[in-house]
Structure 1
Amino acid sequence: MNEIEQQLWDYIDGNLNGLAKKAIEEKIESDPEIKSQYEDLLNLNSVFAGLDLDEPSMSFARNVMESVALEPAPVAMKTQVDKKIIYGIGGFFMISLLALFGYVLYNSNISLPKFDLDANLNFNLNKYITPTVLYSFLFVDLVIGLVFLDQFLRKKMYK
């Protein structure tokens, strides 16, 4: 809807003040295109005024409420964690721990001369445990802790 059409609708509805009303009247009288548009909008307004609005039947609200009452109440779904997921997460951490242990053993110089245990575990831990690794480990632990806390609180609520 353009600006002149909006002004014409406001003029037809009587929403304009005195100055704007005079300006639009002058435009209607001076411009034949605007006058034609004004007459079309006036005819459309009279058609709209002649229409009857359909009303719902008297028992419409009652029928709707009865049909809603007949619907079964929704049941809260209980989520259940599959045991395969738990075993998968546990397996992942076990494999990670075993890999870390194997890496430590691989990088350590263990020699057993004459059954004398001389374990030389000299490797630079600061090289492998950086702040990024530490923050990542703590973040994963935090997420896992929140998941377990959520499960714990849900069990408390439903018991």
Structure 2
Amino acid sequence: MNTIEQQLWDYIDGNLDEIQIKNIEEKIESNAAVKLQYEELLNLNFAFSEMELDEPSMSFTRNVMENVALEPAPVSLKTRVDTRIIFSIGAFFVISILGLLGYILYNSTFTMPNFGKYFTADFNLDKYITPTAMYVFIGLDIIIGLIFMDYVLRRKLNHKD
């Protein structure tokens, strides 16, 4: 669709402002081809306005919904993964890791430094195990135990229902 045809349709529909209306009217008066095209578009617009719109029957929606209800409901696909495939992939990776670890151990040399000269183990446990540390440890154990008991009791209660 060219611009003059679009402008003529906008003129017929009344979608133009005053300046554009004056410009289109001048084009229609001065150019015979534009005037002919304008008259054809007016006739076409009149033919469209005279056409009667088809409406669906009153029971159209009900009929469509009944046909939809008769269709079988789609079944969700439930695929089952073969566990042998999962285990074989896992076995491949475990064997690969063990092979790499064996290769590294085979090609490496182990030399242990003499730690006896530089390392002295003098642990003073009384410095680390204080009454406060024991109370914190026992308190955390009690809290963890209570959480575990709550979990077990809730699980038993849910299985009874």
Q: TM-score range by the shorter chain?
A: 0.5 to 0.7
> What's the CA shift for 1:120?
4.6
Partner residue of 2:50? 50
Q: Which runs of 5+ in 2 are unaligned?
A: 113-161
* 1:23-79, Cα deviation, whole Å (9 max, x unpaired): 110011111221122122112112212222221122110001111111222333334
Q: How many residues are treated as equivalent by the alignment?
A: 112
Aligned mates of 2:91, 2:42 — CA distance in 1: 78
Aligned mates of 1:68, 1:15 — CA distance in 2: 43
Partner residue of 1:27? 27
Please, what is the CA RMSD of the aligned residues?
Answer: 2.0
Aligned mates of 1:51, 1:91 — CA distance in 2: 75
Partner residue of 2:128? none
Q: Which runs of 5+ in 1 are unaligned?
A: 110-118, 122-159
Please say which of residues 83-92 and 73-82 is displaced more in the overlay.
73-82
Q: Which structure carries more relative contact order (alpha carbon 8 Å, separation 6+)?
A: 2
| Residue 92 of structure 2 corresponds to residue 92 of structure 1 | yes
Following TM superposition, the consecutive aligned residue runs of length 4 or more in structure 1 with deviations greater than 4 angstroms are none
TM-score, length of structure 1 as denominator length: 0.62
User: Following superposition of structure 1 onto structure 2, how do residues 10-159 of structure 1 map, counting pairs within 5 Å?
Assistant: 10-109=10-109, 119-120=110-111
SS state of the match for residue 37, structure 2? helix
TM-score, length of structure 2 as denominator length: 0.61
Aligned mates of 1:11, 1:18 — CA distance in 2: 10
